[in-house]
Amino acid sequence: MLAALRRLNLLKDPGPGSGGEGPPHLLRLCAEGALEGGLSVALDVRPDELFGALAAAAGGPARRLKVLDVRDRPEPRMVVSRGPGAAPETWEVPDVRALVERLNALAAEDGGPQARLVAVLGEWEDALQLWCLPRSAVRALLRERGFQPENLAELRGLATS
């Protein structure tokens, strides 16, 4: 796995978590800040609190998004604009994983070369580990045994579209 990460230029610094294989390996690397595009998010962070940082890391059309309103009741949702002249959209986002799903759908629909897909690596040390990757890197990582994000099925579909 480390060889693939180096070949794809996805490592900032292998760091002390580089030993071992499988999901904890990537989780540890992400938590240590060693993965290009990796984000370590506290488990109690709300989607609207993460929105700006995650949209910036996802790039492409996500960078143009603007949150117009946030509502907690009756269900957590955000009103989002895709830009000037675009009709506002209401996104139901009860948690960070739902926000990732929405941003991945946007990248698939309106992606372009700058859009990145977001892999949910899982929880590690009281934080959710997210990894924003170019579509080409996702395609390459899908062939690696150690790449097993929680949203693997979603990424498989998005990487080939």
pLDDT digits (tens, 9 = 90+) for 46-81: 999 999 999 999 998 999 999 999 998 888 899 999
pTM of the model: 0.90
Record the tokens describing residue 157, joined without a space: 């579909």
Which pLDDT belongs to residue 126?
A: 94
Does residue 104 have a pLDDT over 50? yes
Nearest-angstrom CA–CA distance, 147 and 133: 12
CB 93 within 8 A of CB 102: yes
The length of the chain in residues reads 161
Quote the tokens at residue 10.
């996805």
Residue 98: per-residue pLDDT: 96
